[in-house]
Amino acid sequence: MTGSRPTLHYFEDDAAAALALAETLSVLSAPIAVHRFPDGETLPRVRAPAQTAIVYRGLERPDAKLFPLALAADALRRGGARRIVLVAPYLPYMRQDAVFAPGEPVSQSVLANFLKASFDRVVTVDAHLHRTKSLGHLLAPAEGDDLASTPALAAWIRATAVRTDLIVGPDEESAPWVRAIAEALGSAWLTMRKVRHGDTAVEIVLGDAAAVSGRRVLLVDDICSSGGTLRQAVRVLRNAGASDVVAYVTHALFGADVATALKLEGASVVISSDSIPHASNAVSLRGVLAAALQRELIGR
């Protein structure tokens, strides 16, 4: 076991983000080596941990990552770590928080049970918890911290030439998050709403077109994968007379074709946080994550 100051452990494909975070925290970092057997099984090997071990893991495309992550946590615990903190800027499987059709699982609960079996604390950003009380409630008795990307986004806006008059969310569920961003930027805000026409057809509706006309809009969403919702939202805002639309998503699960499609609909800029590596990354979460982890460095 190393000294009392936490160590930050990371998998090879997360090296850039993990090392940047370790530098910000001024803690030692240690790669997790993964041996792959011919039959597809994996065997992670960790370096001797401190009493508090921080594990950084990007969990986009999660199915191939989750079991090796649990194995690494087990190795850290057996190596002497008394507290293990997972830093996963993007937390998957949060959208399926109920049974929406017969025969489906509640994926959110399954993942929560999986994580709290291995970790004492989970730190993430802008988790999709629209109908869930809190991440802490979901993960209890483990700790759960759902951080807001708002400070990082506000800092980026202030540091660039991008100017916005109005913050817009694509649906009513996004209202608390949109309001927080608007308050941080000193801007007005509103939300659009989704109207369902059958099982799959969803229409994005803007209640007050006059509130958008001639204004520079920052359209924000927590997750974008196929881009269907955001493409509709950009189109509606442009048709309502918005003079400019900047689209921001925290978690860029989409490919380059979606970013291109958003621009074709009228978005002048498409940006994302660096929770998931993507060409649109502009907003760094390092400071937000480091601030939340400071208490792990004190008195442990």
Evaluate whether residue 121 is within a structural domain. yes
How many domains would you assign to the chain? 2
Q: Each residue of 230-272: pLDDT tens digit? A: 999 999 999 999 999 999 999 999 887 999 999 999 999 999 9
Question: What does the pLDDT read at residue 197?
Answer: 62
The answer to whether position 2 is within a domain reads no
The answer to the question of residue 1 being in a domain is no
Residues 49 and 155 in one domain: no
Q: Comparing C-alpha atoms, which of 46, 7, 52, 47 is closest to residue 27?
A: 7
Do 168 and 270 fall within a single domain?
yes
Mean pLDDT of the chain: 92
Residues 92 and 187 in one domain: no
Which residue segment(s) compose the domain that 204 sits in?
Answer: 150-283
pLDDT at 66 over 70: yes
Same-domain pairing of 236 and 126:
no
Domain membership flag for residue 139? yes
Q: Are residues 93 and 220 in the same domain?
A: no
Which residues form the catalytic set? 194
> CA neighbours within 13 Å on the CB side: how many for 189?
23
Q: What pLDDT score was predicted for residue 107?
A: 94
Judge whether residue 3 has pLDDT over 60: no
Q: What is the pLDDT of residue 191?
A: 94
Q: Do the domain assignments include residue 272? A: yes
pTM over 0.75: yes
**HSE-up of residue 293 (Cα within 13 Å, Cβ side):** 33
Residue at 162 is within a domain: yes
Q: Are residues 17 and 135 in the same domain?
A: yes
Residues 121 and 40 grouped into a single domain: yes
* Per-residue model confidence (pLDDT) at position 200: 53
Comparing CA positions, the residue from 181, 187, 186 lying closest to residue 211 is: 187
Same domain, 114 and 214: no
- Is 276 within a domain? yes
pLDDT at residue 285 is higher than 90: yes
Rounded Cα gap, residues 183 and 239, in angstroms? 26
Q: Do 173 and 50 share a domain, yes or no? A: no
Q: Residue 254 is part of a domain; what is its CATH number?
A: 3.40.50.2020
Residue 175 lies in a domain: yes
130 plus 241 within the same structural domain = no
198, pLDDT greater than 90: no
Residues 78 and 170 in one domain: no
Which pLDDT belongs to residue 98? 87
> Is the separation of the CB atoms in 88 and 123 below 8 Å?
yes
